[in-house]
Structure 1
Amino acid sequence: MTKLSVNINKIATLRNARGGNVPDLLQVAKHIQEYGAKGITIHPRPDERHIRYQDARDLKSIVYTEYNIEGNPEKSFIDLVLEIKPTQVTLVPDAIDTITSNAGWNTIKHQSFLKEITQEFQRNNIRTSIFVDPVLEMIEGAKATGAERIELYTEAFADQFSLGNKNGIQPYVAAANLANELGLGINAGHDLSLENIEYFKQNIPNLLEVSIGHALISEALYLGLDNVINMYLHKLK
């Protein structure tokens, strides 16, 4: 079974918007695991606009499944990961001012840098995954860094699927086949949702893990509103 790792950035965004500690990020992480998810993902950014660096530290004692920390390997991020020693670090080339991740690594151009960072994390027993587009050369480049896994950037698939074009899966199938041949583990994430996840899973051989945040939290709001509203109405009778 493919593992589900839930990205809880959006919970932190909601908390930060109001101040205080509602919703309680640590309690949410506990409940997500109790409900069956096999991992927690966070993506701290330098401006701490959602996940704060202290959140990353506090979650260390809460996450008993797989703890995945994503981010651009600048110095403060590297130091944080080496301090916490999560199960997995996912290297993502996002710019400081980007709203969300929008491209995979050029693993050819940045191969030397990625190899150096990967080796440092591996010396500390942290599994390393490289965020990549479904481009065969980038898969080969990721293998050359020494990373154990790749995370396929799935926005293009999700966009095409929403338009009814199921052929948008083909570059991902090719990328997965090559990754399997090279001995790379396969993760995936970005814009995967209840609408498209089953089709993606069915077509990607040996998909180990998906990281889902924005869609899952949004779907939880939609699917939970009926229940919560009726609970309020009951108390107001």
Structure 2
Amino acid sequence: MCGRYAITLAPEAMAQMFDAAPANDLPPVPNFNVCPTVQVATVRSADGVRSLAPMRWGFVPHWYKTLSDGPLLINARAETLAEKPAFRAAARARRCLIPASGYYEWTKDADGKRLPWYIQPADETALVFAAIWQDWEVDGAQLRTCAIVTTQAQGAMAKIHHRMPVILRPEDWPLWLGETGHGAARLMQPAPEGRLRWHRVASEVNSNRASGPQLIRLL
């Protein structure tokens, strides 16, 4: 799963990386504790033109009458993405990318205490998560929402958590965004061994109100 992440890339750097037109209302960066329900930077493509714009992290199916009408859908499982009523239309036609610098997962010690880990690219480049999006509207108000696609973790990563976000390489972005035809399902694989590294961080990040670069420092 992916329930918290960090982003330090400036909007200009993200726009250049994705060759995307940036919106004027992108969320502020750096943010070392991006939490569900906040606005996050996303990349989508329409007619081959990419845009970098904010969406609410927390996918809201069209049948929800309120934002809290059902579970908070921050992740979508790759294995059932094409089958779940909430996600299947988005899986076909509304796929997007979410850039990140790293993300957090938790293990537990013998006493049940939650121990946070910060997971980042081994080569210190950016992470790009596969995601899906959905417009939700009620009483004339419209909200664009998204969820991060996750898959089964493998190898050493599985010792931290059994799930992980689907992480896409630059050569995968056009296919995921629907720019180069069909077959995006084959991209929903765990990151290869050695692609990521991780270290323990202080329990301060256990609070969704915590902020600052100290959250990602080696404990």
TM-score range, shorter chain: under 0.3
Decide which structure has greater helix share. Answer: 1
TM-score under structure 2 length normalisation: 0.26
TM-score under structure 1 length normalisation: 0.25
More relative contact order, 1 or 2 (CA 8 Å, 6+ apart): 2
Decide which structure has greater strand share. Answer: 2
